[in-house]
Homo-oligomer: A and B are copies of this chain.
């Protein structure tokens, strides 16, 4: 490393004058100074190893689709291909009615689709025979009912989300099948939305258990996994200042091959393990943050587990399997609040490490690139919405209480149209973070549990290593800013 270190003149690499684009920023929910971070932890998949979109999701989609057809689903399904413009992360499948829902943190329904058909919720669309209220009289779900509702928390779920929508679309349109409330009928056969969902989960388990997805990925790493020359730079820099560990749910073999790819033109790429003080595979997050499992050593020659548990001091370059967050703190001699953990899974990586262990958290959200781009491109829409918003408030203030101003309706209609146009700029299910002015469940979890977030962990490079990330002022402390007041 000594030799390599001299090249790491960051001022040369990133002169201050350089344009600092949105995509490179790290956003802050709670202030955090890197100076106090004594240990950095990383997840691997979608965190250090970024999968190429939509290539990787397409691969997943095709494997799932083919598996479903091979288990008896109609061959017509093969005509469907993955459409990256449709699904976003954080959507919810209602396995009872086969709907795909976008909800806010309290369970209110923002968007609802049945197959590719969007169910209308607004009174503006009374001529539609079907509205959200038909399915959900209160436009609301109790999302604690995990038997019924399945939240698609990770980027790995995107292909799953889309294939489910394709299934519902196919059977809804196929004339051989009758549409019923909870599924489809074909002669003596009833296909419930629940059973279709179960079949999908089984197919997912199949492509994972048989290793099909991994195998196909490893065969063509360049197609599916991004290569970022800054990654070894980041890890080298961090390692000089703090302890670094890897905690991935993947197995050793997959981890090893992935890292060799990620570091391939780095001088000693084969020694990828030297970037970490501690490497833990098969972590079984989220259980990892609760009781965890037995910590085993991995034989790095064979990839097999050693029997028994290693109890000695931490040895550099050793790879472990299993364990728990508590064991990691012990081995590295750090406390939860001294750790910054970087991951992509809002529940398994971020919520759990924050809530159970008090770790500092950094969520990787590659979709932010697009979100930010749309925001740039559609600035004028945002501006107009904002203007209408202010105008509407003004109208309300001066309005006589007994009647409804027709101008108000017309503005509200205009706002709905603008909101819809804006939402469509993100994709068919709209933004990851918002629907009009309302936050999604994902956005509210991001704000609650992630201290920092960015499109990529490599963006940490653009900040000095003792940087103080400052959160925007906590609004509740400046209460008058909170509301537009009546009669002010």
A residues with a Cβ closer than 8 A to B are: 10, 16, 18, 20, 22, 25-28, 30-31, 35, 71-73, 105-108, 137-140, 142, 144, 184-192, 194-196, 198-199, 209, 293-294, 296, 299, 304-312, 335-337, 354-358, 368, 371-372, 375, 382, 386, 389, 392-393, 396, 399, 401, 404, 431, 433-434, 437-439, 443-444, 446-449, 462-488
Contact = CB atoms under 8 A, between A and B. Distances in A.
A41 to B, nearest CB: 15
A31 B437 contact: yes
Contacts of A438: 30, 474
A309 B191 contact: yes
A63 B315 CA distance: 34
A22 to B, nearest CB: 7
The A contact surface, by secondary structure, is: mixed
Contacts of A139: 337, 358
A72 to B, nearest CB: 5
Nearest to A302: B72
Contact of A22 (B310, B311, B480): B480
A37 to B, nearest CB: 14
Nearest to A187: B312
A390 to B, nearest CB: 9
When all copies of this chain in the complex are counted, the total is 4
B307 A449 contact: no
Contacts of A294: 192, 194-195, 198
Name which of A106, A293, A392, A434 has the most chain B CB atoms within 10 A of its CB.
Answer: A106
A356 B189 contact: no
B463 A486 contact: yes
A468 B108 contact: no
A335 to B, nearest CB: 5
